[in-house]
Amino acid sequence: MSDLNKLNGNSKDEQLEQYRTDDKGKKLTTNQGLKVAEDEFSLKAGERGPTLMEDFHFREKMTHFDHERIPERIVHARGFAAHGEFELYESLSDYTKADFLGNTSKKTPVFVRFSTVAGSRGSAETVRDARGFATKFYTDEGNYDLVGNNIPVFFIQDAIKFPDLVHALKPEPHNEMPQAASAHDTFWDFVANNQESAHMVMWAMSDRAIPRSFRMMEGFGVHTFRLVNAEGKAHFVKFHWKPVLGTHSLVWDEAQKISGKDPDFHRRDLWESIENGDYPEYELGLQIIAEEDEFNFDFDILDPTKLWPEEDVPVKIVGKMTLNRNVDNVFAETEQVAFHPGHVVPGIDFSNDPLLQGRLFSYTDTQLSRLGGPNFHELPINRPVCPFHNNQRDGISRHTINKGQVSYHKNSLAANTPSTTPEAEGGYVHYQEKVEGRKIQSRSESFKDHFSQATLFWNSMSDPEKQHLKNAFSFELGKVKSKSVQQQVVDMFAHVSLELATAFAEAIDAVPPKGEDSAVTKKSPALSQLNTTQSPKTRKVGVIVGSTISGEVAEILQALSSNGIQAECISDKLGKRTADNGAELEIMHTFLTASSVLFDAIYVVGGSGDNAMFKKEALHFANEAFTHYKPIGGTHEGLHWLKEAELAGNPGVVIGEGKEDFVSSFSDAIAVHRHWDRQL
């Protein structure tokens, strides 16, 4: 053995042996060796009470988890962001004393970061995953962070289990695979043995987990918060972001191909939309429940694995956010921004949701490691727009130069300044909720229904969406090696839907479930994306043009543009092409640099002088778009090509000679997004 591999007479492997450990079959302890009696529930004041900081095991577990990665975010590492502003439609002063939700004359600056959850910074963006949707409001009363996801529920009910969830979801530690994917044994083993995850898994296997763009996905605050008005009256609230363009998704085959063709697909879409002046817009909606109605539902409103059906608790639309400026530097802004659900302003408070309670500890703790110390609030992207003064001093990366000799409260040398502010003058005062209960590690009985809302979600899906769920489960569990885990998941989701569980059981050669189907028949139409806004605006169309171009084509593209559609020309070579009426078209892509999966629709024009290979390439684009249920248009030579390929006559395939009729029909087809009634 080489001397380079020896030290003090032992090989490097022998040196490392004392540090190797196999936890299988061992008892759970703290890092200090203390045997742990409970690892499911954090310590709370009563079953539905707040989490207690006395819970040293929770704090040790969460602190260690928060500092596992340096310096990349443990979750939400792959993100992109933009600046914008928020405008209020109507005052909410009856519900909250938050100034930015009460003053309709103000425009509040915002910074929004979108992200995947599971992957590293270098992972692809169209993977199946939840998406982060975090908004920082720079209000006159301080920064308010609405830190949410594009899915309204979560996998777990108590923050103490968050490290376990992410450990199971991340690449498996023995081989660091797979990256940014949940289709592996440890994730599904966690699901099968933590059945509170059933509802979230339904969302994660649905089309919601592969959004068309950040601009076309909903955002949710996930947790139950409180609004408190100037009189001290409180209401429970859930926050929603509703995209003005509607909620739309990719199909799975398309999402996988985009990961190879353009792993930056979502960030590129956001960047280019803002650069083009097609500013993404989202309306802010609130679901509000009076405190006296807290227990009037068939679910616990504090349970983060439950949503409030919009048909039971309507979403009140109160304002609009517009993203209108790209970042100047991704690292300085997107990567250094620090969100925290505990960054609130007067009039916004918390509930006893045990997942939220843990996040209130975890986020600051994470920033200490990721951004190098306690002064992350001084980084330009994190600084509030209002002045801030306190007695906190020094630390890594301190920017503020504090003058004077006093840095403590109370004091007489500086007339006890900086001084506190009474509530009546805007000082933050926590909502005075009465709390009673024994110190206990347990879960309320009202949190123990794990399947009713998962079935509600299934019942609310359209037939195409249900088929996509079956396919997603079949794909994910088809990648799982453990037959035991596969069968456990089949048996678990039989409680959600026998139809669903039977379909993927047969696909993965597991034993189909037996027994009675769920008794839940309730539906929530708001959960189906088929009921969303349909608009052709900002949709990207790939236009395949040949060597000779009719002047009418340029007129068609101009008419599509007037409908808000972005048309980009594709051919065999880059450069400008002159139509027979003198109009010039810019060829932005070739068959090598473009792909049908990068467009919302394909429009085949062709050309009379193009060879057989050109026609073959054009029809490859059209056929692939067809299998992804996308709109397809054809005029001129392309019209005949689509007829020959037997694509014409199918739903969403628009051919025609008349310019006005074609533009109108093709725009309508594009607005539909996907033509699910197409026979493939």
Degrees to nearest 5, angle at CA 502 with 500 and 505: 110
Degrees to nearest 5, angle at CA 271 with 265 and 274: 135
The three-state secondary structure class of 51 is: strand
Nearest to 529 by CA among 466, 622, 620: 466
Nearest to 46 by CA among 437, 445, 442: 437
pLDDT exceeds 90 at position 671: yes
| Annotated catalytic residue, options 149, 150, 375, 382 | 149
pLDDT category at 117 given cuts 50, 70, 90 is: very high
User: What are the structure tokens assigned to 680, written together?
Assistant: 């493939």
The three-state secondary structure class of 1 is: coil
Contact between 98 and 144 under an 8 Å Cβ cutoff? The reply is yes
The H-or-E segment that residue 464 falls in is: helix 463-478
pLDDT for res 111: 97
Dihedral (CA of 70, 75, 598, 329) sign: negative
Q: What is the mean pLDDT of residues 96-114?
A: 97
Quick: pLDDT tens for 270-309.
999 999 999 999 999 999 999 999 999 999 999 999 999 9
Q: How much is the mean pLDDT over the chain?
A: 93
State how far the Cα of 242 lies from the Cα of 220, in Å rounded to an integer.
Answer: 9
162 is in an annotated binding site: yes
Residue holding tokens 């992957």?
119
Quick: pLDDT tens for 171-202.
999 999 999 999 999 999 999 999 999 999 99
Which DSSP state fits 550? -
Active site residue 76: yes
Where are any strands of DSSP class E within 123-276? 131-139, 142-149, 219-220, 225-228, 234-243
Per-residue H/E/C for 113-181? EEEECCCCCCCCCCCCCCEEEEEEEEECCEEEEEEEECCCCCCCCCHHHHHHHHHHHCCECCCCECCCC
Residue holding tokens 């309306």?
283
Quick: pLDDT tens for 423-461.
998 898 899 999 989 999 999 999 999 999 999 999 999
pLDDT category at 385 given cuts 50, 70, 90 is: confident
pLDDT category at 26 given cuts 50, 70, 90 is: confident
pLDDT for res 15: 55
Active site residue 276: no
363 is in an annotated binding site: yes
Where are any strands of DSSP class E within 245-382? 281-290, 316-326, 348-350
pLDDT for res 65: 82
pLDDT for res 19: 60
| Annotated catalytic residue, options 76, 343, 495, 628 | 76
pLDDT exceeds 60 at position 2: no
Domains, the chain: 44-378 (2.40.180.10), 455-530 (1.20.1370.20), 534-672 (3.40.50.880)
Residues 6+ apart with CB under 8 A from 23: none
End-to-end CA distance of the chain: 63
